[in-house]
């Protein structure tokens, strides 16, 4: 009965937000620092008002919902922006989960200092960089980068913040006792494992390169095998070799992918002269990532030398995996067990605002399944009941923390 009431509440909230930013393809487009994102923040403030809660903002447009003004408090955070033609639950589920927790705290008359934080521009679709709002207030974003990155209209993040009346040199958030985030998994691990709840251990990081291989574009009929300089043949070796190195590190959860390849001139009767490929290595164990990284870099050198090809390897990113708070992870798992939830401890392949807070406060994350692992897609779908289940875990955990 109680679950039914909570389910009805979150369903109503999701339905209220559903039309905002609906695009022609039936998904939603709510880019960071756009008018549509503003409307989402306004809608959340509306829900808060109806619950008898306060809302406030900070210098960069993040929104906070709370019962009182606290000096020291826990944060339940996530985001309200989306990718282009994205789904309606990525980020939003975390905010509504936070509101549900605030509602329970209020209904039970508990004295737990919690602020629900809706961060701006978590997705990289607007400016090419992710977790903007949470990075700004945790002081993990460089001013130079803010000036370099631009949106589709050609405005830099720095200019955009200024033009909306925000302060790119904002002060650092203070008084945070701990951070929680509920998020849809965005993969199929929970579904395949038949679990309803994931307690996150670590958030993966990506090491990425562009690789340019230069061979010799020749006639495919008139050039004998022995004297060819085929760039695509080297690329083929690199693709399977990366798979092999990543396979060897599978026990450490490292993955390696070449998902982008451009072959030139890409013609039936021409030996490929140039290939551009994108190398993506991810994991949660820096040593393991580095091993695959070193191995593939060494192999690229060897294979290009052997085939007499020139190459250029351009690093794009070498991010650090983020380990979430060990004690909080174990406590969340214990709470899930007490609530008789089918849970598992797992890693996150995608990045989240939680990464930024992990740098300043004990941080924990709860995952719920999304249908077929589909996310960043209009067909993203979840079971609202799972939002209630995941929120209960955070609520019970907060109750325990407040008693300490």
Q: Which among 1, 96, 28 has a CA at the least distance from the CA of 378?
A: 28
Q: Please list the alpha-helical segments (H only) found in 59-120.
A: 92-107
Residue 352 C-beta: closest distance to Zn ion, Å: 6
User: Could you tell me the CA-to-CA distances from 11 to 168, 183, 375, 384 in Å, in that order?
Assistant: 36, 16, 19, 7
Q: Quick one: 90 or 249, whose CB is closer to Zn ion?
A: 90
CB of 399 to Zn ion, least distance (A): 26
Say what angle helices 231-248 and 286-306 make with each other, to 10 degrees: 150
**Residue whose C-alpha is closest to residue 391's, from 323, 324, 341, 322:** 341
Q: How far apart are CA 138 and CA 184, in angstroms?
A: 23
Q: Do 59 and 170 meet the contact criterion of CB atoms below 8 Å apart?
A: yes
Upper half-sphere CA count for residue 135 (Cβ side, 13 Å): 18
User: Rounded distance, CA 31 to CA 21, Å?
Assistant: 9
Q: Minimal distance in Å, beta carbon 386 to Zn ion?
A: 16
CB of 90 to Zn ion, least distance (A): 4
| Residues contributing to the site for Zn ion (CB under 5 A) | 90-91
Q: How far is the CB of 91 from Zn ion (least distance, A)?
A: 4
H or E element, residue 391: helix 384-403
**Closer to Zn ion by Cβ: residue 6 or 185:** 185
Nearer to Zn ion, 132 or 233 (CB): 132
In the complex, the smallest distance separating the C-beta of residue 210 from Zn ion, rounded to whole angstroms, is 26
Q: Given the complex with Zn ion, which of 91 and 256 has the nearer CB atom? A: 91
Q: Residue 203 or residue 275: which is nearer to Zn ion going by CB?
A: 203
Residue 92 beta carbon to Zn ion: minimum distance, rounded to whole angstroms: 9
| CB of residue 3 to Zn ion, shortest distance in Å | 25
Residue whose CB is less far from Zn ion, 105 or 368? 368
Closer to Zn ion by CB, 232 or 394: give it: 394
* 236-271 per-residue burial string, b: 16 or more CB within 10 A, e: under 16: ebbeebbeebbeebeeebbbbbbeeeebbeeeeeeb
Choose between 67 and 122: whose C-beta lies nearer to Zn ion.
122
Q: How far apart are CA 174 and CA 97, in angstroms?
A: 23
Q: Given CA atoms 306, 248, 282, 362 in this order, what sign does their dihedral have?
A: negative
Going by DSSP bridges, is the β-strand pair 322-323/205-214 parallel, antiparallel, or unpaired?
A: unpaired
Query: Helices in 324-382 by DSSP H: which ranges?
Result: 326-338, 354-357
Minimum Å gap between C-beta 362 and Zn ion is 21
Residue 91 or 198: the one with the smaller Cβ distance to Zn ion is 91
Sheet holding 274-283, edge to edge: 255-264, 274-283, 205-214, 310-318
């Amino acid at each position: 009965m109680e679950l039914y009431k909570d389910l009805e509440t979150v369903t109503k909230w999701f339905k209220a937000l559903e039309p905002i930013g609906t695009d022609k393809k039936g998904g939603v487009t709510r880019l960071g620092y756009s008018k549509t994102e503003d409307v989402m923040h306004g809608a959340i403030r509306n829900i808060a008002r109806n619950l008898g809660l306060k809302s406030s903002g900070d210098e960069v447009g993040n929104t906070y919902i709370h019962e009182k003004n606290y000096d020291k408090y826990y944060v339940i955070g996530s985001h309200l922006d989306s990718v282009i033609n994205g789904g309606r639950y990525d980020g939003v589920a975390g905010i509504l989960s936070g509101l549900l927790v605030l509602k329970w705290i209020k209904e039970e008359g508990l004295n737990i200092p919690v602020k629900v934080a809706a961060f701006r521009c978590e997705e990289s679709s607007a400016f090419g960089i992710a977790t903007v709002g949470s990075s700004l207030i945790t002081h993990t974003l460089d001013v130079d980068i803010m000036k370099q990155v631009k949106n589709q209209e050609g405005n830099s993040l720095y200019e955009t913040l200024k033009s909306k009346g925000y302060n790119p040199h904002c002060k650092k958030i203070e008084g945070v006792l701990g951070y929680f985030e509920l998020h849809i998994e965005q993969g199929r691990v929970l579904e395949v494992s038949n679990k309803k709840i994931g307690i996150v251990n670590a958030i993966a990081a990506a090491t990425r390169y562009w690789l340019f291989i230069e061979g010799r574009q020749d006639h495919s009929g008139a050039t004998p095998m022995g004297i060819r300089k085929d760039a695509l043949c080297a690329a083929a070796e690199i693709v399977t070799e990366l798979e092999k190195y990543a396979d060897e590190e599978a026990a450490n959860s490292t993955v390696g992918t070449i998902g982008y390849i451009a072959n030139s001139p890409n013609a039936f009767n021409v030996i490929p002269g140039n290939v551009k490929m994108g190398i993506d290595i991810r994991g949660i164990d820096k040593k393991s990532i580095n091993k695959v990284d070193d191995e593939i870099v060494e192999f690229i050198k060897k294979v290009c030398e052997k085939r007499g090809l020139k190459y250029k390897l351009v690093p794009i990113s070498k991010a650090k995996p983020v380990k979430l708070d060990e004690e909080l992870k174990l406590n969340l798992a214990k709470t899930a067990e007490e609530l008789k939830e089918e849970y598992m401890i797992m890693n996150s392949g995608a990045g989240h605002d939680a990464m930024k807070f992990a740098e300043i406060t004990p941080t924990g994350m709860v995952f719920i399944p999304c249908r077929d692992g589909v996310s960043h897609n209009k067909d993203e779908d979840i079971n609202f009941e799972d939002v209630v289940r995941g929120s209960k875990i955070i609520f019970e955990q907060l109750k325990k923390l407040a008693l300490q």
